[in-house]
Structure 1
């Protein structure tokens, strides 16, 4: 038995909606149950029809498609939203993801690829247009780097060096020799590091250093 997806189309251009409707209704597993030209109409159509998927433009008169997406995904969690847009702007992309969109597709997409995207989202997958996927990975990597860096924000450069040697299993005497410091000074550094990191012993400090890639922040 063919799984049939009930779809609401949201775009303020009637010609675009007609084109999408014509494309989708040629497939036996798609049924366009509603159309909307604004964010408010989109929410109303979803409330009325409880579709499986909303195909929504980001740029709409009044409230944006992103605002409508957030409202829909919050109130109707079984409805998945695909943002269909002419824009590959980073802020829009990440705003759409934060709003709960399951897909982000550029309008330049080929018809057959759009069909596949809708089917993928209908099956519960998340989907990004290949043109923006690399940006997501770059943003994720940047966010990870920021989080890692913040993990050592309270440590001085010297404390980071001491922590690095602690993570390598060095004793206070060995650290003192390597950094040309007094053993008592190293002991004070280690005590300060444990306090700042909120850990109770050298082993925990070493594990923390490894987990947050201390080597990259020396």
Structure 2
């Protein structure tokens, strides 16, 4: 099963129109890059505002999924995702200043994969918002991960209908994501996205006491597009 996700922000770099936007993907490519670099020279979120935004996002997710409500969190380093399509769009619209991903470990809950939190700083340069962005490790940026999630959930639902028709969970999000391999030419993250190479992951769900693992492969096309393939034959279902 093959899907394609295209990051329009990169496909637009060839255009050259002037604009007074805070970040103009349709303008001069060199100016666009300078603007992205300037945005990322600003101080990172930290201290009590960051802790509060992350804590609220983690607590909201725990309530939604019926999970442990942690009181002790370890917030990992912040990685910019400025070139994620959704984040760039919000910057262009003047709604936020920038966005970052942080991996958060729940220290006083049962063992489990860390949670990823998308942190957005409003255009006022102060107000922070945290958004649950998944559990486990992934090299996919937020918008790409969201699109791939729809496909993996659809496959998980199809398999559940066969294996356990009575299982109809209200929530179906991965409890574990693992990167299982990458190509030698995989490029480093460039403000959240990757332009070259490929990698493989396994996304695992645990509905109704089962364990359902779905292999997924990602492949960039060098111009802002990313394809992914779900390995139907490699799906593992454990009762």
* TM-score after normalising by structure 2: 0.22
Q: Higher helix proportion, which one?
A: 1
Larger Rg: 1
Q: Higher strand proportion, which one?
A: 2
| Structure ranking higher on relative contact order (CA contacts 8 Å, 6+ apart) | 2
